[in-house]
Chains A and B, each alone.
Chain A
Amino acid sequence: AQSVTQLDSQVPVFEEAPVELRCNYSSSVSVYLFWYVQYPNQGLQLLLKYLSGSTLVKGINGFEAEFNKSQTSFHLRKPSVHISDTAEYFCAVTHGGGKLIFGQGTELSVKP
């Protein structure tokens, strides 16, 4: 069975500071990994995904993530955050069988 752990439920950060949202997964088979963002009262928007190939993945809005197979991690980073990045962020994993397993989410709060 697969599982996803987002290590921080809330991350407060000041505007223009760097941020890292942590995600660890467990799986006995190869997986595909995703980060989604959910702004208040909206659906989920795909930020980036790792399917194969380069372990450093770049996404929208200046975010990037690095797949680390040995540490089973897929941490999300942004070098300089904006107020508009305030949202809920979900890490998710699938082995390709149609079921997407989500972490519990990390609430990113960017303060001026």
Chain B
Amino acid sequence: DTEVTQTPKHLVMGMTNKKSLKCEQHMGHRAMYWYKQKAKKPPELMFVYSYEKLSINESVPSRFSPECPNSSLLNLHLHALQPEDSALYLCASSPDGKETQYFGPGTRLLVL
């Protein structure tokens, strides 16, 4: 089973709202990732958690705040977003953070 789940599927929020995206995997993978994908573009890496510790932050604005409560769960807390933050947010996981990444279906975010 190589399933990564993400909730919600769709999210509409105003610029003053606070919301969270959730990602879950039960494959025993030790690395988890957040990506942002704009239309017709490849995914852009935002954050990497390895063994529940933040290992890579690709200079993401502080209005995006990741959290890894345990090895199966990854959250992305959103606050004071801008309309240009509207995108598909993808979560991925990999067994050891070194090679194959498995992606979830994504959350499509619209910021009004």
Q: Which of B56, B90, B98 meets A43, CB within 8 Å?
A: B90
A109 at the interface (CB under 8 A from B): no
Shortest distance in angstroms between B53's beta carbon and chain A's nearest beta carbon? 12
**Beta-carbon nearest neighbor of A4 in chain B:** B42
B74 at the interface (CB under 8 A from A): no
1/0 per position for B52-63, CB-CB distance to A under 8 A? 000110000000
The interface residues of chain A, by DSSP majority, are classed as loop
Establish whether residues A34 and B100, one from each chain, have CB atoms under 8 Å apart when the complex forms.
yes
Shortest distance in angstroms between B110's beta carbon and chain A's nearest beta carbon? 13
Establish whether residues A98 and B50, one from each chain, have CB atoms under 8 Å apart when the complex forms.
yes
Shortest distance in angstroms between B111's beta carbon and chain A's nearest beta carbon? 18
1/0 per position for A39-75, CB-CB distance to B under 8 A? 0011111100101000000000000000000000000
Binds A, one of B12-20, B64-72, B101-109: B101-109
B residues apposed to A, CB below 8 Å: 2, 4, 6, 31, 40-43, 45, 48, 50, 55-56, 90, 92, 97-106, 108
